[in-house]
Amino acid sequence: MTRHPTLAALAADLEAGRTTARKLVEDCLARIDDPAGEGARAFIHVDRDAALQAADAMDRLRAAKAEPSPFAGIPVSIKDLFDIKGQVTRAGSRALDDNPPAESDAPAVARLRRAGFVVIGRSNMTEFAYSGIGINPHYGTPKAAYARDIGYVPGGSSSGAAVSVADGMAHAGLGTDTGGSCRIPAAFNGIVGYKPSQSRVPRDGAVPLSFSLDSIGPLARSVACCAALDAILADQPVMPVSPRPLKGMRIAVPTTLALDELDATVTAAFDRALKTLASHGAIVEQIEVPEFNDVAPLSTKGGLTAAESYAWHRYLIVAQGDVYDPRVRERILRGETQSAADYIDVVTARKSLIERATARLAPYDAVAMPTTAIAAPTIAELADDKAFTKANLLALRNCTLINMIDGCAISLPCHQDGEAPVGLMLAGVNGADREIFEVAAGIEEVIRG
């Protein structure tokens, strides 16, 4: 897989005059248009004319020394569930085709624009964000960046976002993460994905999956890229990330659930990563986290996600249910069978879970586990519903643990060149976002050699 430039490298090139915003946009459009590439499946809509106009505007502002940020003019993709002024928000579905265009940008989109990023298009996604695999029967499924001749799933739900970044069709992607939807596609495509503490970024103007669990985060090519984007999305100053020294760093590796059913590819990459960290002086401690055993019982009837998604979809699914991906419709309808008492029980139990897990994990610099229990399966093998269900659960499991305890987490590539991509997830408790970026920056320097 080609290694494309980071945001910092692009900003330096723009500042030095080695490139222009228009050139960056034209290059991304050329990659999107490449008939041998995945542009037709990675994007639901390409905002070609507006992107070129915005790029020209940023070039004029830079020439006048008035650019809004060092990143002004860099093209980004926007997951299809975000409102973009003047466009219909479809959330990867056909059920919303008749909705009116959005009257304004979602706050997350507006903040990226305010920093001068150029919106190049709406990226494909799992319909209504309801899967960690990334298959979309309506708009096609983009192949993951690895071994494209075979055709591996891209991960979901921010599938097009990850593929757009991995292929250089955009230089960052705006995604969401309810149970891994930024981290899973990042892991499957060999890039970096971040799930912030939920309250950092407003979720207005984004089609919800679960308002208790949805987070808005970036997909990009480095820890520093994600840290800069996260700051912009959180409406905070962009500050350099100081890599935390590995010597003496305390890293907890949960033996409860998170290491179960790992495939051989993930096991090898994860074990190698832990040995590398230990060799650089990190203190890697295997610990039991019994709170993780409480997560699955909270989802026996579909949990928060099914209940809250059904509340949003209940009228639309009556009118347009035959348009939905059957796999998505089935999962949403699990919420119909939950009673108010069932839902309240889950909300109450989750509050206790968060308190107990936070107390257990707070003393560590980070919690480390594989982002997913499996490497990306092929698109073809998941045509079978049983295979799809099993792969989806194994893709989502570890990431969901962090959403359920209201934490923050980043996925870093930890495979070697030529190997199937594998993600190393580093997680922290709620509010530990800055610390996780510092830890991840230190680990990023050594993890892939």
Give pLDDT tens digits for 31-78.
999 999 999 999 999 999 999 999 999 999 999 999 999 999 999 999
Residue 94 in any domain: the answer is: yes
Question: What is d(CA 60, CA 402) in angstroms, rounded to the nearest whole number?
Answer: 43
Total number of residues shown for the chain: 449
Q: List the catalytic residues.
A: 79, 157, 181
Q: What is the pLDDT of residue 2?
A: 74
Residue 70 in any domain: the answer is: yes
- Domain span at residue 332 reads 250-447
Peptide bond into 157 cis (omega under 30): yes
Residue 1 in any domain: the answer is: no
Residue 238 in any domain: the answer is: no
Residue 120 has pLDDT above 80, yes or no: yes
Give pLDDT tens digits for 217-250.
999 999 999 999 999 999 999 999 999 999 999 9
Both 177 and 269 in one domain: the answer is no
Number of domains in the chain: 2
**Amino acid, single-letter form, for residue 429:** V
Q: In whole numbers, what is the pLDDT of the chain averaged over residues?
A: 98
Both 291 and 434 in one domain: the answer is yes
Q: What is the pLDDT of residue 449?
A: 59
Give the β-pairing of 215-220 and 423-428: unpaired
Give pLDDT tens digits for 128-153.
999 999 999 999 999 999 999 999 99
Domain boundary residue, one of 233, 266, 292: 233
Q: What is the pLDDT of residue 406?
A: 98
Task: Please calculate the CA angle 246-252-257 and round it to the nearest 5 degrees.
Answer: 145
Both 370 and 404 in one domain: the answer is yes
DSSP 243: P
Tokens of 152: 């591996």
Q: How confident is the model at residue 3 (pLDDT cuts 50, 70, 90)?
A: confident
Q: For position 402, which CATH number holds?
A: 3.90.1300.10
C-alpha distances out from residue 297 to 291, 332, 361, Å: 11, 18, 21
Tokens of 248: 């003496």
Both 135 and 255 in one domain: the answer is no
Residue 189 has pLDDT above 80, yes or no: yes
C-alpha distances out from residue 328 to 43, 126, 302, 325, Å: 20, 9, 12, 5
3-class SS letters over 259-313: CCCCCHHHHHHHHHHHHHHHHCCCEEEEECCHHHHHCHHHHCCCHHHHHHHHHHH
Question: What is d(CA 345, CA 447) in angstroms, rounded to the nearest whole number?
Answer: 41
Q: Which candidate, 256, 171, 255, 183, places its Cα nearest to that of 221?
A: 171
Both 351 and 401 in one domain: the answer is yes
Q: What is the pLDDT of residue 448?
A: 76
Both 286 and 148 in one domain: the answer is no
Give the percent of the chain with pLDDT over 90. Answer: 99
Q: What is the mean pLDDT of residues 316-339?
A: 97
Q: How confident is the model at residue 1 (pLDDT cuts 50, 70, 90)?
A: low
Both 166 and 256 in one domain: the answer is no
Residue 245 in any domain: the answer is: no
Both 131 and 205 in one domain: the answer is yes
Residue 385 in any domain: the answer is: yes
Domain boundary residue, one of 172, 201, 233: 233
Q: Tell me which H or E stretch contains 177.
A: strand 173-177
The DSSP secondary structure of 15-73, one letter per residue, reads: HHTSS-HHHHHHHHHHHHH-TTSSHHHHEEEE-HHHHHHHHHHHHHHHHTT--SSTTTT
Per DSSP, what are the bridge partners of residue 285?
A: 252
Residue 207 in any domain: the answer is: yes
**Amino acid, single-letter form, for residue 304:** L
Q: Which candidate, 133, 93, 211, places its Cα nearest to that of 399?
A: 133
Q: What is the pLDDT of residue 178?
A: 98
Give pLDDT tens digits for 373-424.
999 999 999 999 999 999 999 999 999 999 999 999 999 999 999 999 999 9
Give pLDDT tens digits for 102-114.
999 999 999 999 9
**Amino acid, single-letter form, for residue 324:** Y
